[in-house]
Amino acid sequence: MISDTGSVLARPESGPVTGIRGADQLLRFPGIRYGTAERFAQPVRADRHADTVDATRPGPICPQLPSRLEPVYGAQWNEPPQSEDCLYLAITTPDLAGSRPVMVWVHGGGYMTGGGTLPMYDGGRLAADGDVVVVSVNYRLGALGYLVHKGVSNGNLGLYDQILALEWVHDNIAAYGGDPANITVFGQSAGASSAITLLSVPRSRRLIRRVIAQSAPTLATLPTRDEAFAAGPYFAEAARGDLTTLPVRRILDAQARTAQWNADMSSRRGTVPFRPALMDPLGDPRTNRRTFQSEPMPDLLIGYTSDEGRAFALSAPSPVPEEAVAAMSRKVFVEPAHAIAQQVLDAGGAAFLYEFGWAPTEGGLGAVHGAEMPFLLGTRDAWAGSPVLGSTDWATVEAKGKTLRQSWAHFARYGSPSTAEVAWPQWSGDETSVQRIG
């Protein structure tokens, strides 16, 4: 638990806000509004304010159903409320003075669940060990964020929320001790895929210096416009009403039915119905690939865990053979990571590729999807009793995690995860240059 020891005032361009100084001496502003949005509308920048705003409480997260990976990570502790008015971000910084690297976290959850203001994503340990400013972003999820339906939504709203948040960070982060010219976007799972997608949008590409992609699923392709429109009519039929005014509960129920329909479609199996779609200016529809031509190639740190697929096998309706789990891990996570690292290498950028193989000695689930998360972000209370840690004590998590956090921060600062303690090879195009962790 983080105990409060006093308040602190920051004066960014957007207007003065109060945060809290914790017992760890870090400064936290967990409830900063960066934008507003009507349902199924583009987000707009939050108004500047002259009066001081209280940002000491976490902003609400987007409406969502329980995560299918709850058996892996455990139930959320001290979860913020849910609201459609969810365009908030959280900032953790060692000090308001200075010009530190900025690390903007985009959470995962299959574009359907999660929130940047959750305690499991608290940036305190990373900020302290790496002397960086950590920003965690909420964005719209599910149908509210990614529905594509004629006359209702053109899609990609959750992605445009992320872009707006990046612009807010660029314009305001200096007041929190951050360097707006050195922004690293990092994310896990859908958040990692979002980080890569942001590079395909000129509006956000120009703001990003580096990217860390943890367990990004199938990075090479996005659904086309026609594929994205396919789920819209089914969702509208399931909702049965005016989508712009329906109660949130009806939206979530229709979303769940659409997800089941999507899972039952053999041509769409393994995808989610609501996610970023390949629409101008997100890529080249002729190749269904993200494009990386307009700006210098950013540095990339990308990787996966040793047993990604097991996390999803746990929630399967029937037992999944070991060979199928391994095949899914390689096809959905390993091969795409190698491909995107090679794409960066071919474009003249620097890429580093890793495999996270740590697993608890007793209990636990192995090195599954998201196994690295307790070592990077979150509080002790947030991860207490998490199945992914098994019987591992927190002191072990802290000791092993510090090395990982320092590598992530070193990459954000210098473009290389190598530190005085750990040397990382640069990706050269073969397995021998994959850094093995744990």
pLDDT of residue 220: 45
pLDDT of residue 417: 97
Position 156 pLDDT exceeds 60? yes
187 Cβ contact list (under 8 Å, min separation 6): 105, 106, 107, 108, 193, 194, 195, 212, 213, 214, 216
For 385-407, the pLDDT digits (tens) are 999 999 999 999 999 999 999 99
- 306 noted as active-site residue: no
CA atoms within 13 Å, Cβ hemisphere of 138: 32
User: How many distinct helices (H) and strands (E) make up the chain?
Assistant: 14, 16
Length of the chain as a residue count: 438
Whether pTM exceeds 0.85: yes
pLDDT of residue 218: 75
Residue 20 DSSP SS3 = strand
Residues 95-100: what's their mean pLDDT? Answer: 98
Residue from 14, 136, 189, 386 carrying the catalytic annotation: 189
Name the CATH topology of 4-225+277-437: Rossmann fold (3.40.50)
179 Cβ contact list (under 8 Å, min separation 6): 99, 100, 101, 102, 173
**How confident is residue 314, by pLDDT bands cut at 50, 70 and 90?**
confident
Residues 118-125: what's their mean pLDDT? Answer: 96
Residue from 308, 329, 372, 407 carrying the catalytic annotation: 308
Percent of the chain with pLDDT over 70: 93
Residue 251 DSSP SS3 = helix
Average pLDDT, the chain: 91
For 159-201, the pLDDT digits (tens) are 999 999 999 999 999 999 999 999 999 999 999 999 999 988 8
Phi, psi of 234 (to 5 degrees): -65, -45
Fill in the amino acid letter for 406.
Q
DSSP character at residue 284: B
CB 139 within 8 A of CB 160: no
157 closest CA partner among 282, 294, 60: 282
Q: The tokens 């985009």 sit on which residue?
A: 106
Cα separation, 301 vs 209, whole angstroms: 12
Residues 3-25: what's their mean pLDDT? Answer: 92
Residues 277-281: what's their mean pLDDT? Answer: 65
> From the CB of residue 236, how many other CB atoms can be counted at a distance below 10 Å?
20
Which stretch of 17-21, 106-110, 265-269, 329-333 has the lowest confidence by average pLDDT? 265-269
CA distances from 383 to 75, 307, 394, 404, 411 (A): 9, 20, 9, 17, 25
Going from N- to C-terminal start, the domains of the chain cover 4-225+277-437
- 315 noted as active-site residue: no
DSSP alpha helix (H) spans, 42-91: 70-73
Residue from 369, 372, 407, 410 carrying the catalytic annotation: 369
312 closest CA partner among 334, 328, 323, 327: 328
- 153 noted as active-site residue: no
DSSP character at residue 294: S
CA atoms within 13 Å, Cβ hemisphere of 166: 28
Q: The tokens 């769940």 sit on which residue?
A: 256
